[in-house]
Amino acid sequence: MEVLKERIRAAISAAQKGVLVNAALVVTKILGGIIGNSYALIADGIESGADVVSSLIVWRGLSISRREATDTYQFGYGRAETISGAIAAIMLLGAAIGVLIVAWREILTPHHLPHPMTLPLLAGVIIVKELLFRYVIDVSDETESSALKSDAWHHRSDALTSAAAFIGISIALLGGPGWESADDYAAIVCAFVIGATGIGMLRRSAAELMDRAPEASVLSQMRTAAESVPGVVLIEKLSARKSGLTYFVDMHVHADGAMSLHDAHILSGMVKTAVRAAVPAVQNVLIHMEPAEHS
């Protein structure tokens, strides 16, 4: 349980840092877009605003997921983490639709060229967001948090939309009069990037909520650990589901049929310990003991 608590603390810390960085970027982008006459930059700021809310939701989901199991929620609150990831994905889709609508309206409305000062601002944003993405994605891999992974891809999508805005503004400035809409077309590209990212994240969260099996490599680690325990003849069935940052595992263990109930109980405990040692994210292992002669 201490390993799980440490993972949740690390995930929450990453989400908190995302909130602080994005809050600063929202102000910077929107002010820069207004002063520099760039809707692509304003759209990018709106997307960063969605990132702030997303990180707050992920933060809250992670906080709930660390609660202890109760008589009402006997398997714990781990799914709160997955649900927060799904909400973050839906929010990202909403942001994409909003940016797309306003960008198209801007294309139909004549306006001035963006100011050159928006380019160095965007370059700085791209660097900051890419660094934040790499940090959060590393933490999400270490903690196996799908919600934090969704949050990380919010940061990557922000870096991509900033890059699209940089290209659009550059084209508008190089083309001069008549190319003002290049900035707005860049915002449309941003919207599609954001939408595609949101769909991918929503699919991952939905798969986890539907109890999709973990990756084959994770199941293989569990099986290998169980089979390495002296006295285990065969692991017949192995299934697992992910709940938040943890796994719940069911397995059928074949052992000597003449073994006493007491010894079978001891062996099952050894198997549980071995599986948890191999995959620290495992919270519970339910073992069904079977006589080896039926293998």
Condensed to tens digits (0 to 9), the pLDDT of residues 76-95 reads: 888 888 888 888 888 878 87
Same domain, 14 and 86: yes
Q: Is the pLDDT of residue 103 over 80?
A: no
CATH code, domain with 245: 3.30.70.1350
Domain boundary among 174, 209, 244: 209
CATH code, domain with 70: 1.20.1510.10
Q: Is the pLDDT of residue 226 over 90?
A: yes
**Nearest CA among 100, 127, 169 for reference residue 25:** 127
Same domain, 43 and 81: yes
pTM value surpassing 0.85: no
Phi and psi at 108, nearest 5°, equal -80, -5
Residue 137: count other Cβ atoms within 10 Å of its Cβ. Answer: 18
C-alpha 233/C-alpha 293 separation (Å) is: 10
Q: Is the pLDDT of residue 180 over 70?
A: no
Q: Compute the radius of gyration of the chain from its Cα atoms.
A: 25
In angstroms, what CA-CA distances link 260 with 212, 227, 230, 264, 265? 36, 20, 16, 6, 9
Q: Where are the beta strands (DSSP E) in the chain?
A: 234-243, 246-255, 282-291
Q: Is the pLDDT of residue 239 over 80?
A: yes
Mean pLDDT, residues 16-37: 83
pLDDT band, residue 111 (cuts 50/70/90): low
Mean pLDDT, residues 251-280: 92
154 residue type, one letter: H
Q: Give the dihedral sign, CA 13/14/15/17.
A: positive
Same domain, 140 and 241: no
Most confident range (mean pLDDT) of 109-118, 147-156, 206-215, 263-272 is 263-272
Same domain, 200 and 225: no
The boundaries of the domain holding residue 220 are 216-294
pLDDT at 229: 94
Same domain, 95 and 198: yes
C-alpha 185/C-alpha 103 separation (Å) is: 7
C-alpha 103/C-alpha 108 separation (Å) is: 9
72 SS3 class:
coil
pLDDT band, residue 159 (cuts 50/70/90): confident
Beta bridge partners of 285: 249
Same domain, 243 and 185: no
Same domain, 38 and 124: yes
Q: Give the dihedral sign, CA 48/49/51/56.
A: positive
Q: What share of the chain is helix, strand, coil (3-state, %, to 5)?
A: 70, 10, 20
C-alpha 160/C-alpha 190 separation (Å) is: 7
Q: Scan for tokens 């967001």, then name that residue.
A: 129
Beta bridge partners of 250: 239, 286
pLDDT at 264: 92
Same domain, 156 and 236: no
pLDDT at 294: 55
Same domain, 27 and 159: yes
